[in-house]
Amino acid sequence: DARVRKLTFTGSTEVGKLLYEQAARTVKRVSLELGGLAPFLIFEDADLAQSVQQVMATKFRNTGQTCVCANRIYVHESIREAFVARLSDAVRALRVGDPLNDTTQIGPLVDQAGLDKVSAHVADAVAKGARAVVGGQVGEGLYFQPTVLVDVAAGMRILDEETFGPVAPVVGFTSDADVVAAANATPYGLAAYIWTRDLGRAFRVAEA
């Protein structure tokens, strides 16, 4: 309809492309927020306490159910073990409960399909060699335990698909080039996070 001047949509990339094509016929303005698979890159010079704090904020808000939630957490090998220990402590301390309670930090998944997807991603990762340091299990109702996965590697669904739940997969890296390649190894964009004290590196990596 030519009377519609602007279209906004939040949802899947597949549907976003269809809407983009249709909007082009009448040259509408379009704003699309499509599927994400946000990488969070933590370099060896990062402040551990602050990086954990930021991962908690970007991964577990709204029980991991936002388009810009961190989905893949890449940590330099020199600090990976220490980072996982701190992250695991923080995740264990999350308060799971009634979403109407002001003290609750982790509530239920949006529906059964959402819970099934989170559960399937974790099961696939564990079957292929990953390990749940914290959580990893379905709770009562539509709850999934806040989870930290280690020994995560390429070929696992959790690195290829948006999980949309409270699961933090941690992957080690050794070089800037390798982690940039890993971060870019997806058709999904939308958001990315970089944690380093080196402003030059931050700009280089962001541009790459």
Compute the mean pLDDT over every residue in the chain, rounded to the nearest whole number. Answer: 96
| Beta carbons of 112 and 106 less than 8 angstroms apart | no
pLDDT tens digits along 33-71: 888 899 999 999 999 999 999 999 999 999 999 989 999
Q: Judge whether residue 4 has pLDDT over 90.
A: yes
Mean pLDDT across 161-185? 97
The residues annotated as belonging to the active site are 33, 67
pLDDT tens digits along 116-126: 999 999 999 99
Of the candidates 70, 64, 34, 68, the one whose C-alpha atom is nearest the C-alpha of residue 51 is 70
Residue 2 phi/psi, 5-degree rounding, is -65, -20
The region that residue 106 occupies, defined by phi over 0 for left and psi between -120 and 50 for alpha, beta otherwise, is beta
CA–CA distance, 127 with 124 (Å, rounded to integer): 5
Mean pLDDT across 108-129? 98
Q: Which residues pair with 31 in a beta bridge?
A: 8
**C-beta atoms surrounding 60 within 10 Å:** 22
